[in-house]
Each structure stands twice: as structure tokens, then as C-alpha cells.
Amino acid sequence: MNTVSSKAQAVRPGRPRSQERRLAVLHAAAELALEDAAAPTMDAIATRAGVSRTTLYKWWPSPSAVLLEGLLEHFHESIELDDALPVREALTGQVDALVHLLRDTAAGTLLRGLMAASSSDRTVGEAMLDTWLRPRREHAVHHLHRGIADGSLRAGTDVEIVTDALFAPVYHRLVWGHAPLEDDLAERICDLVWSGIAAP
């Protein structure tokens, strides 16, 4: 009992500092990657963040996982959950932010590189899902459920398919390059999707 309680006490004051170091690592990973438009090594991240390589591997299973969580954190405002906004505006904003971050920052090149790596390395694919796509999709799904609840979207809206239809065209254009990531892309996608899901 005593041991447990003294352990808890030992851990408690450490928490905020470890949280700070964790954020320092995420910032370092995102900064390095966006500066060089290339995935940084664990060593480079550790050096910039001032933590040991061992600590890094204790917290993240792979360089891709640190990098993706760093990017998620860095671009977090692009998926902020502002429930005061009408659902359509919130989601158009998220699609538009994705267009801009893939087109106007090194994130586009970085994500293309990670997608390429994921075709031969399963751990990269898992990191991409867990630390990039799923958290971003959850925010979109949250807004869609909010729309169904407030009556602005049809009951029975297929939220998974709607989320694919909203965001997949942006990634699709990034990968294939058949058409550019235009300024009005988000608006055009949302126009199409909303005519399908807006409550009558």
C-alpha cells in the first residue's frame, strides 16, 4: 500500500513535465519534417527536442508514428471542434483546411511519401491510420452526428460514406494529380454532398 501510494506521489508531479517533453518532441518532429519536406530520423527528432532516443521509442513505436502525431498536432486547428458553427460550415472548413495543408505546406509531400511507404511497410500504414486519418475522421463524424441530431441532416445519413466522399477526393487528387487542388474544391465537394444529405 505504502509503495503504491509513494509511487503515485512520485509520478504525479512528473506528469506535467513529461507532457511538456512529449509536446516538445511532437513540435520537433513536425518542424523538422516541414522544413525539409522529408521524414526526419528518430535521432534528429531526439536532438532537436532534447530527449533521449530511448525515451522516444518508449513513447512511440516508430519514426512514422512520431511524425504523424506531430503533424496531427501541428495542423490541429484544421479540425477544431467548433460546435458553435453550423455543421456545413464546420465541415467545409475542414475540407478546405485539408486542401490548403496538402497544397500549400510540405504536409502534402510528406503524406504522399508516407502513403508510398505504407504500401510495403504495415507499421507505417497503421501509424497513418491511428495518428492521422482516424482522429481526423472522428471530428468529421462528430459534426455529421451533430447535424443529424439538430435536424439539419437527414436521419439515416451514412456518415462513413459521407466522410469518404468529403475527404477522399482531396487525397485522390494529391496522389493521382488528374486535377489540381483548387481554391474552390472544398466548396464544390460540399455543394455536391449537401444536396444529398441536407434535410428536406
Q: Which residue ranges make up the site for a copy of itself (CB under 8 A)?
A: 112-113, 115-120, 125, 128-129, 133-134, 137, 158, 160-162, 164-165, 167-169, 171-173, 175-179, 188-189, 191-197
Q: Which is nearer to a copy of itself, 80 or 158 (by Cβ)?
A: 158
How close are the terminal C-alpha atoms of the chain, in Å?
62
Least distance in Å: CB of 196 to a copy of itself? 4
Alpha-helical runs (H) found in the chain: 2-11, 14-36, 42-49, 53-59, 63-74, 87-104, 107-118, 122-128, 134-149, 159-176, 185-197
Contact 99, 173 (CB under 8 A): no
Contact 74, 66 (CB under 8 A): no
Least distance in Å: CB of 53 to a copy of itself? 27
Least distance in Å: CB of 160 to a copy of itself? 6
Q: Which is nearer to a copy of itself, 56 or 173 (by Cβ)?
A: 173
* Cβ-based neighbour number of residue 88 at 10 Å: 18
Q: Which is nearer to a copy of itself, 89 or 184 (by Cβ)?
A: 184
Least distance in Å: CB of 69 to a copy of itself? 16
Q: How many residues in total does the chain contain?
A: 200
Closest CA to 93 of 102, 104, 80, 106: 80
Least distance in Å: CB of 39 to a copy of itself? 12
Q: Which is nearer to a copy of itself, 90 or 186 (by Cβ)?
A: 186
Q: Which is nearer to a copy of itself, 149 or 175 (by Cβ)?
A: 175
